Amino acid sequence: MRTRQILLNLLSNAAKFTNAGTITLRTFAIDQQSLGIAVQDSGIGIALKDQSLIFEEFQQVHDHLTREYQGTGLGLPISKRLVEMQGGRMWLDSASGQGSTFCFSVPLAPMDEANAVQSPARLDAPEAASSSIDIVIIDDDPDTQMTLQRLLSGAGYTTAGVQDSRDALATIQHRKPRLILMDINMPHLNGWDVVAAIKEVPAIATIPVVICSIVDERRLGVLLGVHGHLVK
């Protein structure tokens, strides 16, 4: 599933920066343990001096490109992170005005392992007020924290609040909640960074995450495997 998400993002990116010409998808063997996938376009290309920036969050090379091709600059960093979470790597071959080729490797798992689907945790509503389900709310705004905790407590859930996103991972590992509500725009670590960190810890990776933020970036949420998106 993540390979499909990475491909969709790279193909979408190629289409955005290719006004005319071709976009090619191909696969190639790297070794017996991994497969290579490449998305090649004949678009505007990326100068060598800018190539170190494109995998950094919120970066789009050149101000005039940012104006012409709207976006948050998060797609490539998240794709690279998803590749690395699967044990692969992503690299780039490009030159200004000569198109770009984005490649990434996919480890080849044994068939029985590849077909094993890990079911996400399911959050059922409490059967009665005495039935408590732990929900961790990660939001730097104390008013939002208080409002969500009041609403959820009234519905019979127990909650734990985290205002400093740097404490989020430790709290989640300790509490192992049934659900996580996550803000995006927070100091120190933004919500996307916290979600990516959660997905890298097997013991908590399947806990459902619902984004609750003024940032409406549902596509990025899908790429990182969140379960829902609520816009404040």
Question: Residue 132 — very low, low, confident or very high, per pLDDT cuts 50/70/90?
Answer: very low
Q: Catalogue all structural domains in the chain, each as residue range(s) with its CATH number.
A: 2-115 (3.30.565.10), 134-231 (3.40.50.2300)
Q: Is a pLDDT exceeding 60 seen at residue 142?
A: yes
Question: Residue 170 — very low, low, confident or very high, per pLDDT cuts 50/70/90?
Answer: very high
Contacts for 4 with CB less than 8 Å, ≥ 6 apart: none
For residues 15-29, give the mean pLDDT.
Answer: 87
Distance, in Å, from the CA atom of 86 to the CA atom of 215, rounded to the nearest integer, reads 27
Strand partners, 158: 134
CB 50 within 8 A of CB 42: no
Average pLDDT of the residues of the chain: 78
Q: Is a pLDDT exceeding 70 seen at residue 130?
A: no
Which pLDDT value is given to residue 93?
A: 92
Question: Residue 18 — very low, low, confident or very high, per pLDDT cuts 50/70/90?
Answer: confident
Q: Which two tokens stand for residue 45?
A: 């290309």
Q: Is a pLDDT exceeding 80 seen at residue 65?
A: no
Distance, in Å, from the CA atom of 202 to the CA atom of 210, rounded to the nearest integer, reads 18
Would you say the pTM of this structure is higher than 0.85?
A: no
Strand partners, 38: 26, 103
- Which residue shows structure tokens 């979470």? 85
Tell which wins on pLDDT, 224 or 93.
93
Q: Is a pLDDT exceeding 90 seen at residue 183?
A: yes
CB 100 within 8 A of CB 40: yes
Distance, in Å, from the CA atom of 80 to the CA atom of 12, rounded to the nearest integer, reads 15
Task: Give the 3-state secondary structure of residue 192.
Answer: helix
